[in-house]
């Protein structure tokens, strides 16, 4: 599998404070890569380093097979659409004038701009000044600016901020369809559910370090879900010396892998414990994430 | 990039500066001229000297400082710098386009000054004869001499997110520039300092201002040369810093 973005030991430190620490990112071509992490975990700084808006303290970035740094940035810029931190836009100008600025800076055609505007469904608002836009409309304009150049790689930092649920769904569908067309999309979000529903590969950042990178399936394998044991006689299970928490269904047991589960079943049968049900808890991505980030959560 | 920069100037507050400053300069100069008829000789020369006195010393350079701060404020606001730096343009082109667009506004400011000087001189002060053509040359030379001030104020405003701090530095520059011109340190040193270069250019051929040179090649040549050299150096420095500094 070829990678559109690779980093080797990517690090950013401000004085003695390291905000991004030794990242080895691998973003496969044509996927939606969900970049997750609590606020302040270093996502935006990492994305800025990928775009060479911020210089790494250590490490290398390679984008589309070429080194990305302040010398090569302008050569790669035409191939990369981005929206970092907050949507850009000149408030005293209309949406149309803002897109004209992008068209002129990038040497695009009117058709490319119109297609990008149509894609984010902003056509009816292009003659309003951007200062009168809602946050959601600004976000759409920012995405249109990133899309207009028809990029091979899209790097979007929290692109659904400020959008209503219908808008979020639209952007999610848009990003998935772009990936289907071969565009690689790297998207950060604080809404885990949103990333869960569009990303095929995930990278999870905690305190500046990459604590997981892989597919959704691999992520769930990394964190073993709890077992729920439904029994009318939970005391007898606890008497076997098992560590479990009582719930209204019976008992909840943590950290038992496949072999340990098989051993548990053998012991329950051996001691003739009545079992009405034994199953793994379905876990949300958020629960897995909380496990990996040490309950640091997203706030 | 230049066309993109010019688009940003539409309905921009920068134009208000280009209109208000010449209005202030011509108003102050006209009042001064009218109130000192006993001291000043009548005619275009005295009137012009009163207009460009404060304009040359402070108004023009301060106007450039405000224009540069306002122009870069557009980029600092709303993370537009991310957009600017995500284009295929080299930083030299980005900074160069910003300088060119600012110089255009400065040229409009000079045109406004000339127009107001003529209109007020003819219709309000009822001055005799036609306005001297040399004022057009001085106004144009003022645009050239303002290039280094545009470049240095653009550099400061690019590096400092605050609107007022670069303007305050500009005010300090005006004071230092005036000091260099009138402390006997003139000559080469004052030509190497952007703010005093503007004053020198606007005072050319101005008999009412002490130590002002005549409007001839010997005076104009060094000003143009110094303006080109200083601007090129400041432009290159700006491009290098923009390329190497992190966007916060």
Nearest alpha-carbon partner for B5 in B144, B103, B107, B111 = B103
Q: Which two three-digit tokens encode residue B88?
A: 């295929």
* Contact between residue A91 and residue A130 where contact means Cβ atoms under 8 Å apart: yes
Q: Which of the residues B14, B83, B95, B247 would you substitute to probe the A interface, choosing the one with the greatest number of A C-beta atoms within 10 Å?
A: B83
What does the angle CA B55 – CA B61 – CA B65 come to, to the nearest 5 degrees? 140
Q: How many CB pairs under 8 A join A and B?
A: 80
B175 CB-near residues (< 8 Å, 6+ apart): none
Residue of A nearest to B243 (CA): A70
Give residue-wise pLDDT tens across range A214-273. 988 788 777 778 889 998 888 888 888 888 888 887 899 888 888 889 999 999 999 999
Distance from CA of A193 to the nearest CA of B (A): 27
Distance from CA of A54 to the nearest CA of B (A): 4
Diameter over CA atoms, chain B: 62
Residue of B nearest to A80 (CA): B86
CA distance A138 to A86: 9
ipTM of this predicted structure: 0.88
Residue A298: predicted pLDDT: 47
CB contact under 8 A, B86 and A85: no
> At A82, phi and psi to the nearest 5?
-145, 155
Measure Cα distances from B219 to A106, A288, B142, B187, B204 in Å.
43, 76, 13, 11, 8
Give residue-wise pLDDT tens across range A170-223. 888 889 989 999 999 999 987 677 787 789 999 999 889 998 899 887 887 777
Distance from CA of A87 to the nearest CA of B (A): 7
Give residue-wise pLDDT tens across range A197-209. 789 999 999 889 9
Nearest Cβ partner of A92 from B12, B86, B247?
B12
Domains contained in chain A, CATH given: 3-221 (3.40.50.300), 224-282 (3.30.70)
CB contact under 8 A, A74 and B89: yes
pLDDT for A141 beyond 90: yes
* Contact between residue A203 and residue A226 where contact means Cβ atoms under 8 Å apart: no
Report domain extents, chain B.
Answer: 2-244
CB contact under 8 A, A74 and B12: no
CB contact under 8 A, B83 and A102: yes
pLDDT for B201 beyond 50: yes
CA distance B241 to B158: 9
As beta bridge partners, residue A185 has: A32, A154
Distance from CA of A204 to the nearest CA of B (A): 23
Burial class (CB in 10 A: 0-12, 13-18, 19+), A143: buried
Give residue-wise pLDDT tens across range B142-198. 999 999 999 999 999 999 999 999 999 999 999 999 888 887 655 677 788 999 999
């Amino acid at each position: 599998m070829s990678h559109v973005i690779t980093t080797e030991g990517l690090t950013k430190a401000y004085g003695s404070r390291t905000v991004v620490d030794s990242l080895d990112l691998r973003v496969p071509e044509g996927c939606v890569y969900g970049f997750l992490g609590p606020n302040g975990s270093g996502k935006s700084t990492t994305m800025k380093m990928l775009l060479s808006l911020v210089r790494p303290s250590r490490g290398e970035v390679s984008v589309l097979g070429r080194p990305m740094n302040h010398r090569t940035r302008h050569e790669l810029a035409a191939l990369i659409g981005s929206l970092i931190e907050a949507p850009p836009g000149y408030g005293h100008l209309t949406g149309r004038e803002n897109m004209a600025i992008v068209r002129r800076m990038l040497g695009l055609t009117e058709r490319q701009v119109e297609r990008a505007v149509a894609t984010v469904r902003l056509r009816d608002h292009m003659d309003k000044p951007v200062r009168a836009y809602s946050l959601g409309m600004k976000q759409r304009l920012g995405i249109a600016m990133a899309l207009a150049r028809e990029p091979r790689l899209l790097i979007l930092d929290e692109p659904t901020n400020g959008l209503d649920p219908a808008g979020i769904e639209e952007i999610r569908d848009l990003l998935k369809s772009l990936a289907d067309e071969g565009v690689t999309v790297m998207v950060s979000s604080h809404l885990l559910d949103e990333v869960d529903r569009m990303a095929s590969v995930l990278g999870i950042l905690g305190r500046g370090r990459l604590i997981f990178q892989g597919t959704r399936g691999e992520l769930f394998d990394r964190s073993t879900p709890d077992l729920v044991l439904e029994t009318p006689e939970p005391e007898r299970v606890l008497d076997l010396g098992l560590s479990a928490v009582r719930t209204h269904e019976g008992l909840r047991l943590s950290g038992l892998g496949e072999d340990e589960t098989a051993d548990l079943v053998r012991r329950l049968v051996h001691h003739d414990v009545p079992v009405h049900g034994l199953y793994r808890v379905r876990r949300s991505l958020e629960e897995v994430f909380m496990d990996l980030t040490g309950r640091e959560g997203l706030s | 990039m230049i066309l993109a920069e010019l688009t940003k100037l539409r309905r921009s507050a920068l134009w208000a500066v280009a209109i208000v400053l010449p209005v202030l300069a011509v108003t102050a100069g006209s009042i001064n001229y009218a109130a000192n008829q006993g001291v000043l000789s009548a005619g275009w020369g005295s009137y012009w000297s009163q207009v460009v006195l404060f304009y040359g010393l402070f108004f023009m350079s301060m106007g450039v400082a405000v224009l540069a701060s306002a122009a870069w404020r557009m980029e600092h606001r709303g993370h537009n710098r991310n957009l600017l730096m995500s284009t295929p343009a080299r930083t030299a082109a980005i900074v160069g386009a910003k300088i060119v667009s600012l110089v255009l506004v400065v040229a409009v400011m000079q045109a406004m000054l000339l127009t107001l000087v003529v209109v007020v001189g003819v219709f309000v002060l009822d001055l005799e004869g036609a306005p001297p053509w040399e004022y057009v040359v001085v106004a144009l030379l003022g645009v050239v001499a303002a290039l280094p001030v545009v470049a240095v104020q653009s550099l400061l405003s690019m590096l400092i997110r605050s609107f007022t701090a670069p303007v305050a530095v500009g005010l300090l520059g005006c004071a230092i520039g005036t000091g260099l011109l009138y402390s006997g340190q003139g000559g080469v040193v004052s030509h190497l300092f952007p703010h005093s270069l503007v004053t020198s250019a606007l005072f050319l051929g101005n008999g009412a201002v002490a130590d002002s040179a005549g409007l001839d090649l010997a005076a104009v040549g060094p000003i143009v040369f110094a303006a080109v050299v200083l601007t090129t150096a400041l432009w290159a420095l700006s491009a290098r810093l923009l390329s190497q500094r992190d966007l916060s």
